[in-house]
Amino acid sequence: MSRGAPNQPPRILAEGRYLTLLDEGGWEYVTRRGVTGIVVIVAVTDDGRVLLVEQLRTAVHRRVIELPAGLVGDGDAHAGEALADAAVRELVEETGYAAREMVPLGAGPVAVGVSDEVVSFFQARGLTRVGPGGGDHTEDITVHEVPRPELDGFLAAAAARGLAVDPKLYAGLYLLDRGPPR
Amino acid sequence: MSRGAPNQPPRILAEGRYLTLLDEGGWEYVTRRGVTGIVVIVAVTDDGRVLLVEQLRTAVHRRVIELPAGLVGDGDAHAGEALADAAVRELVEETGYAAREMVPLGAGPVAVGVSDEVVSFFQARGLTRVGPGGGDHTEDITVHEVPRPELDGFLAAAAARGLAVDPKLYAGLYLLDRGPPR
């Protein structure tokens, strides 16, 4: 490997419909066009059930258990959208639960070797069921409501059925227990 | 958006030096050529210090605090390498600590929207300092040894200095506290 100093502007290697592949000083990564952020939502109902979503993820050819999450600012309808507003919207779309409040828990890049993605974690407070969830018309999402004490067992059973678990789920629970940054 | 069923073989949109951009039924993602896995290492010394690494990450244009981590099987020297062996090697390279044992804590995809990456978390046990760390010749890594009770304060101070924190750090600590899957 020989990579230059990261002080030259990125060079476009390819533009897909959603992803652009860049080379910046010898480091390659993708960026999503028109997306300003990614929100991940830690949502626990008043009676202690964690809201999880399950869906087929083409990139890994498996169904994956994840926290509810979504893109911010994608599409004309969501241009200029604030992170917390996107978190409220995505939680309703995916799980059918409305949140009274979204509390920021922290943010950071999850895949710096391949992507410029930065994810922002929110704690959803004051949950009310308002719809069926399941995602928008491009998505096919199964919602799970898992009591916190049963979570490790639920995930082990899911793994035994061949499902994958996105580690952002563990990160979200860690941040929930730690609480918002001071 | 209109995306087909993910039952057709992926189509190559572009091949960089390290990353290949694919389209599979309308879903785009990148894959790394010649890499068979990614290991992330949760390493706590006998006197309770968590080993962290800090380095400039071109994709996000910031220095990032992360758990020690690395690619598995990249390059001729590491072809066919087992995950646990890669974890031992990367921990020495990046931090200068050798581990007597690597205990698998869990694995999963961290960025399914853009990448097929699956990361495997290991707990390093029996740590001995054997070298300076700092990474290989392509890397410029600063090692931090942070007592666990001071970790939240350390990360808040780092954030205040403009550094980012990779959420896989939180996932690793969650898995460490949970223990290996049964």
Instruction: For residue range B68-119, list pLDDT tens digits in order.
Output: 999 998 877 777 889 999 999 999 999 999 999 999 999 999 999 999 999 9
Residue B4 one-letter amino acid: G
- Distance from B7 to chain A by nearest Cα, in Å? 9
Give the model's pLDDT for residue A7: 63
Give the model's pLDDT for residue A3: 54
Give the model's pLDDT for residue A139: 77
Q: CB atoms < 10 A from the CB of B6, how many?
A: 15
Give the model's pLDDT for residue A181: 79
Q: Pick from B30, B64, B118: which is nearest to A114 by CB?
A: B30
- A58 conformational bin, left if phi > 0, alpha if psi -120 to 50, beta if neither: alpha
Q: Do B182 and A156 touch (CB under 8 A)?
A: yes
Tokens linked to B132: 């300076």
Q: Which fold would CATH assign to domain A35-178?
A: Nucleoside Triphosphate Pyrophosphohydrolase (3.90.79)
Span A29-37, mean pLDDT?
Answer: 94
Residue A23, pLDDT > 70, answer yes
Q: Do A114 and B114 touch (CB under 8 A)?
A: yes
How far is the C-alpha of A21 from the C-alpha of B21, rounded, in Å?
Answer: 7
Give the model's pLDDT for residue A133: 83
Q: What values do phi and psi take at A55, rounded to 5? A: -155, 155
Q: Pick from B16, B57, B174: which is nearest to A171 by CB?
A: B174
Residue A99, pLDDT > 90, answer yes
Span A147-167, mean pLDDT?
Answer: 96
Q: Provide the ipTM.
A: 0.93
Banded model confidence at residue B134, pLDDT cuts 50, 70, 90: confident
Instruction: Please report, for residues A23, A47, A106, A132, B48, the alpha-carbon distance to residue A169 in angstroms, rounded to integers and kept in the order given.
Output: 30, 19, 14, 22, 25
Q: What residues form DSSP beta bridges with B22?
A: B12, B29
How far is the C-alpha of B44 from the C-alpha of B53, rounded, in Å?
Answer: 13
Give the model's pLDDT for residue A5: 52
Partners of residue B23 in chain A, C-beta under 8 Å: 16-17
Banded model confidence at residue A43, pLDDT cuts 50, 70, 90: very high
Q: Say how many residues make up chain A.
A: 182
Q: Do B60 and A112 touch (CB under 8 A)?
A: yes
Residue A159, pLDDT > 90, answer yes
How far is the C-alpha of B124 from the C-alpha of B168, rounded, in Å?
Answer: 16
Higher pLDDT, B110 or B7: B110
- Distance from A97 to chain B by nearest Cα, in Å? 23
Q: Do A167 and B18 touch (CB under 8 A)?
A: no
Instruction: Report yes or no: B38 and B118 within 8 Å, Cβ to Cβ.
Output: yes
Residue B171, pLDDT > 60, answer yes
Q: DSSP labels for A22-52?
A: EEETTEEEEEETT--EEEEEEEB-TTSEEEE
Map out the domains of chain A as residue ranges: 35-178
Span A42-57, mean pLDDT?
Answer: 97
Q: Pick from A61, A108, A138: which is nearest to B164 by CB?
A: A108
Q: Do A28 and B6 touch (CB under 8 A)?
A: no
Q: Give the side-chain half-sphere CA count within 13 A for B177.
A: 12
Span B153-181, mean pLDDT?
Answer: 95
Residue A87 one-letter amino acid: A
Span B153-178, mean pLDDT?
Answer: 96
Banded model confidence at residue A2, pLDDT cuts 50, 70, 90: very low
Residue A35, pLDDT > 60, answer yes
CATH 3.40.1360.10 fits B36-178, yes or no: no
Q: How large a percentage of chain A has pLDDT more than 70?
A: 96
Residue B157, pLDDT > 80, answer yes
Residue A33, pLDDT > 50, answer yes
Tokens linked to A132: 């069926």
